[in-house]
Structure 1
Amino acid sequence: MTAISRRTVLAAAGTAGLVLATAGIATATHNGGTQHTAAQQAAAQKGRVQLRLPAPTGPARVGTTSLHLVDHARKDPWTSAKRELMVSLWYPARDVQDHKRAPWLPPASTALDKQQTSRNLQTSLDNVDYPVTHGHQDAPVRGRRHPVVLFSPGYGAIRAHGTALVQDLASRGYVVVTIDHTHDAQFVEFPKGRLELTRKPSNPTEEEAERETAKALRARQDDTKFVLDQLPTLNTGGNPDAEHRRLPGGLRGSLDLSKIGMFGHSLGGDTTAETMAEDPRIAAGVNMDGTFFGPVAATGLDRPFMLMGNATHGRDNDSTWEDFWSNLRGWRRQLLLRESGHQTFTDQSPLGQQLIKALPIPPAVVAKLRESIGTINAGRAVAAERAYLTAFFDLHLRHRDDHLLSKPSPKYPEIEFIP
């Protein structure tokens, strides 16, 4: 295991929520002082803090719905019960009237996440309201035969962490399916508020982390293939939801299953590549800052693939990226996002920067959080990530080339092309 991979896995193994990468720093900062700036103290006294996600930039309004899926043919590797998943669909909506915008997290998850985040940030979140997404709950689907993109979050993370990117793809005509990997994720909320918590060790040794990562990666590949198996049912008017809740109107026939892509963050990026190696249904993939743990680094792929790394992560210091790159036999591209950290590719970037401005967080905790989300302006980071993700999937699923991936663009100076 490389130095990058070990650091990434252990950092992600602690907790979920807004401050994933600050896990384990509370003890270290108690003696580091809790002096707060006058600006932080003033911000905390202003009243409630409403966190917000960047609005989608595409022409379509966005709808969303969630599904509870049960794989009756497979046992959960952590519990031996039937494998259960929660997934969300994000899609271009025909009409959003009378369809409320969905919350970033459902109620039980919000309460637990606030508790964990407050502990890690060493400050109260009592006056903080979590974001409302730009996805309208169960709104009818607009149009037919949209390309499909799957999303897998990082190790220990939840599917909501990709919302800023996912809802933008939906506004541009994609149906995006986000996956929670139960018992790998810190928590997953099922219908009626049932929470399933992680089964991973809280403070793993390096050896334990390697075993758990391998176990999680195998489960994630099987989860992804199972979700892919459910898409034809949805597309023909079936309802795979375990509670048979009513599905959005217009969903039948809305998926173009000949055009499927996938992207993921951290271990979700590796999940993308490893699943592609086993399942030809995924035509193109993107790994956002994830080290490779499985055999795909050695075997490579023959389909389009893009690597997006943070400012300190690339082929020069992660041997698995170098191996994977040399074994790619199709279209390939590597990009670096300047001034970024590992979590810059998640919702923790915009939300974390808002928390830093609004709350009296101890300086040592702020420094650790900034190390995780980078120093790049979150708005600029999200804009660049959205632009290059869209350009990639437009090129390889829709065969539309805006030439953004051909060479560096003055519009996005934050993106560096790695030859």
Structure 2
Amino acid sequence: MTTRSHRAAVAALLTCALAVPLLGAAPASASQQAHAQTRYSVPETRSTGAPELPRPAGPHPVGRRTLHLVDRHRTDPWVPTARGREVLVSVSYPARRAGAGSPAAYVTTDEARLLLKARDLTGVVPPETLAGTRTHARVGAAPARGRFPLVLLSPGFGMPRTTLTSLADDLASRGYVVAAVDHAYESLATEFPGGRVMPCVACEEVDARVEFAGVVRGRAADLSFVIDELTDRRRAGALARVIDLRRIGAAGHSIGGATAAAAMAADRRVRAGVDLDGDFFVDDAGAGLGRRPFMMVGAEDTHSPGSDGTDWAGAWDRLHGWKRWLTVEGAGHFSFTDFPWLGDRLGLPTDQEVPLSGERSWHITRDYVAAFFELHLRGVPQPLLQGPTDLRPEVDFHRP
């Protein structure tokens, strides 16, 4: 990929992170971008109660633990004077007993304020309302007995790990340990310990300082570090004892999906991966995975074969194991995150360019990601992944 195309990709991702409304996909033109930035600038505050995330579908209650990890053997690419490469990890896991512990928060009030500002929703949704979003995880709950597969999640560029909370908790309820990772200085709304809200330095400097592929590879190194920490009993304690080292997967949204592929290529411990609507950015995406399985799921308008700008075709040709290329009709870039579900419940206007409802977006994302990991980390056959079904007519299977 040329420097010019890298910068174009960065600009598109920053548009997604900074300009697109809570429900929408990335606007395709300057006029649409301007419309997106003004359409939701409603002067009055909406008087809605705190929303609730979708209830997990699995049989396990869900526990939550947040870990602040520092890799002192690596220099942070954005702030070289930092004390190492920091990550903040929310670990969702099957809990031993329902109701144990205290309810897990969705985001802090400061994180909510910054996220709403980034989405151009200041004055539309009170930060306290978003911060009060009810989750289904409990802090302090003891892990269930047994050993479970580990799945790592990486969010979109500029977005916090919390945007994948519903997916993390649903997988945990099905019997997975799920680590959602915030990468330091790459999020617009993440509060680290001590009340530190780190600026998104990457959002301002990525095209001027490094090739965008470097962001992907840096995040892949973060995921390997998280695996090291979570599986070290001296550091992770009870969590390490319930993780099955032989069954590790990775998934992510947008650049987080590219990170999943890069993590697989760099770390043989990662056995399976999912990319949710993310271009890969690296020239050799898909290489190095061997026969390990990988699935790409994206919006039909932007990630179908032949779509302008996507680099999925090259990656598809380099995937030599089990693979799927799925697109979802009516989906937008953020349809694979918590945003559409929350937007529906906060009473935000529907984006006409993204006709798929928040509830339908969630069910499709949940069902296909869960089916993928059930098949490839547990060996349970999944008819859902064999081809199109009348029950989910929005999902198309491509075999270019």
Give the TM-score band, short-chain normalised.
0.7 to 0.9
Give distance in 1, aligned partners of 2:326 and 2:380.
Answer: 20
Say yes or no: does 1:315 pair with 2:315: no
In the alignment, is residue 391 of structure 1 matched against residue 371 of structure 2? yes
Q: Provide the rounded CA distance (Å) in 2 between the counterparts of 1:399 and 1:283.
A: 12
- Counterpart of 1:256 in structure 2 is 244
Percent identity (aligned): 36
Counterparts in 2 of 1:150-189, with a 5 A limit? 150-189=152-191
AA partner of residue 258 (structure 1): R
Which structure has more relative contact order (CA 8 Å, sep 6+)? It is: 1
Please tell me the residue identity of whatever aligns with 2:261: A
After TM superposition, give the deviation of residue 19 of structure 1 in Å. Answer: 6.8
User: Per-residue CA shift, 1:121-174, capped at 9, x if unaligned?
Assistant: 364323861212111112111121101100011111110011111111111001
Q: Which residue of 276, 285, 293 corresponds with 1:304? A: 293
| Superposition map of 1:84-99 within 5 A | 84-99=86-101
1:287-338 alpha-carbon deviations (Å, 9 max, x no partner): 1111111133363632100010102122322452111111111001111111
Cα distance, 1:337–1:140 mapped onto 2, change above 3 Å: same
Partner of 1:75: helix, strand, or coil? coil
Matched-pair contact (CA < 8 Å) for 2:118–2:188: no
Q: Shift in Å at residue 75 of structure 1? A: 1.1
- 2:279 aligns to what SS in structure 1? coil
Alpha-carbon separation, structure 2, partners of 1:256 and 1:282:
12
1:130-279 paired onto structure 2 within 5 Å: 130=130, 131-202=133-204, 208=207, 211=210, 213-233=212-232, 236=233, 238-239=234-235, 250-279=238-267
Do structure 1's residue 61 and structure 2's residue 49 form an aligned pair? no
**1:286 Cα deviation after fit:** 0.5
Q: CA deviation at 1:77?
A: 1.0
Counterparts in 2 of 1:143 and 1:34: CA distance versus 1, 3 Å: closer
- Partners of 1:140 and 1:251 within 8 A in 2: no
Q: How far has the Cα of 1:106 moved from its partner?
A: 2.5
Question: Which residue identity is paired with 1:395?
Answer: L
Question: What SS does the aligned partner of 2:265 have?
Answer: helix
CA RMSD between the two structures: 3.2
Q: Are 1:264 and 1:270, in contact at CA under 8 Å, matched by a contact in 2?
A: yes
Whether 2:328 is the aligned partner of 1:337: answer yes
Measured after TM superposition, the shift of residue 62 of structure 1 is 0.7
Equivalent of 1:375, from 329, 332, 355?
Answer: 355
Distance in 2 separating the partners of 1:393 and 1:409:
19
Contact 2:21-2:36 within 8 A present in 1 as well: no
Deviation of the 1:253 alpha carbon: 1.6
* 3-state DSSP of counterpart to 1:410: coil
| In 2: Cα distance, 1:351 partner to 1:143 partner | 33
SS of 1:330's partner is coil
TM-score, normalised via structure 1 length: 0.83
Q: Where does the alignment leave 5 or more consecutive residues of structure 1 unmatched?
A: 241-246
Are the aligned partners of 2:100 and 2:140 in contact in 1 as well (CA < 8 Å)? no
How far does the alpha carbon of each residue in 1:356-405 deviate from its partner, in whole angstroms, 9 at most, with x for none? x35xx7xxxx64xx54xx21011111111111111111111100013211
Counterpart of 1:228, as a letter, is: I
Q: 1:251 to 1:150 in 2, by over 3 A?
A: same
Cα 1:34/1:270, change in 2 over 3 Å: closer
1:211–1:72 CA distance, 2 compared to 1 (3 A): closer
Name 1:79's counterpart in structure 2.
79
TM-score (norm 2): 0.86
Q: Verify the 8 A CA contact 2:274 2:295 in the aligned structure 1.
A: yes
Matches of 1:304 and 1:218, distance apart in 2: 19
Shift of 1:48: 3.7
Unaligned runs of 5+ in 2: none
What residue number does 2:51 align with? 51
Aligned match of 1:244: none
How far apart, CA to CA, are the structure 2 residues paired with 1:147 and 1:223? 19
1:15·1:186 contact (CA, 8 Å) conserved in 2? Answer: no
Q: Which amino acid aligns with 1:220?
A: R
Amino acid at match of 1:282: V
